Amino acid sequence: MRFLVKMKPSEKESTYIPIDYRSRFISLLKLIFGEEEFEQKGPRPYTFAVYFGKDAKINREYIENVQQVNLRFSTGDTLKAINFYNGILKLKKEGYKHPIGNNRFSIEWISQEEEKTPTGIFRTLSPVIVERIGFKSKDPNERYALPSEDDFNESLLENILRRYKDIFGNLPNINVFRFTPINVKGEFIRHYGGLLRGFLGKFKIESDSEEILRFIYKYGMGLRTGQGFGYLEVEDGKA
C-alpha cells in the first residue's frame, strides 16, 4: 500500500532545510510506530521518499524556499500500512507540528495512492543505495556500487535477497536477474553526518521472478529503505 502525506510550514517565514534531512522524517516515523520498534535490529519493511516542491532550491548546505513537503510511504505489509495511516491521522487530529529545518510543519492530509503492476521498468523517487559485496572500506566509493561498475548487478541482487530473507524468513525462486540502466546518474548523499553513494533515474529489471519485482516496488530497492532510500515508481513498458 502507498500513501501520500501533504505537509505545510506553520510559520510564514522563508523555510530552509538542511540537505541532511532524512533523520527528521525518521523521527516522525518513530512517533507513528513507537520508539521500541526502532530498537530492534534488521531492515524496515517499508520505504519512503520526500519531495519539497518545484520552487525549492539547493544552496550549498540547505534546501531553500520550501513551501510544502510531500512525504510518500510504501509497504507490502498491511498491518504496517494501517498503523502508518492511523498514526498520521492521529497526529493531524492533535494538531501536531513536526520540526524540520527552521520551521514546523503541520499535516494537511493523507491519501492512498494507486498501486501499479510492476512492468520491470522503474523510476526512482529517492536514491538507491547498493552495498558492494565484500567491501572492506568505509570510503563511499569503495563501499557502494553504481550501475556503471562491473559488480553492480551481483551486489544489487545480493542486497535485495538479503532484505527479502530478513523480512520474510525465506528466499524467492529466482534464476534470472538483470539490471539495465536507461537514464541514471550517481550522486553522493549526506546522511546522519556521513556520505552515502547512490543513484537516481530510470532503469529496467529483467527477472523470471515476479515476486522480486513486486518486492522492490512495495518495499524499496537496495539498502536503507527505511531511512528514505530506494522508493520506486512503475514506468510504462517503453524503454
Q: What percent of the chain has pLDDT over 70?
A: 99
Do domains 2-113 and 121-234 share one topology? The answer is yes
* Of 205, 164, 163, residue with least CA distance to 184: 205
Into which CATH architecture does domain 121-234 fall?
Answer: 2-Layer Sandwich (3.30)
Is the predicted pLDDT of residue 40 greater than 90, yes or no?
A: no
pLDDT given at position 239: 53
Domain boundaries, the chain: 2-113, 121-234
Instruction: Place 164 in a pLDDT band, splitting at 50, 70 and 90.
Output: very high
Average pLDDT over residues 104-115: 97
pLDDT in tens, 59-101: 989 999 999 999 999 999 999 999 999 999 999 999 999 999 9
Instruction: Place 12 in a pLDDT band, splitting at 50, 70 and 90.
Output: confident
Task: Give the integer Cα–Cα distance in Å for 200 and 198.
Answer: 7
Is the predicted pLDDT of residue 238 greater than 90, yes or no?
A: no
Which residues, 6+ apart, have CB-to-CB distance to 86 below 8 Å? none
Task: Annotate 176-209 with b (16+ C-beta within 10 A) or e (fewer).
Answer: ebebeeeebebeebebeeeebbbbbbebbbebee
Fold of 2-113: Alpha-Beta Plaits (3.30.70)
Instruction: Place 13 in a pLDDT band, splitting at 50, 70 and 90.
Output: confident
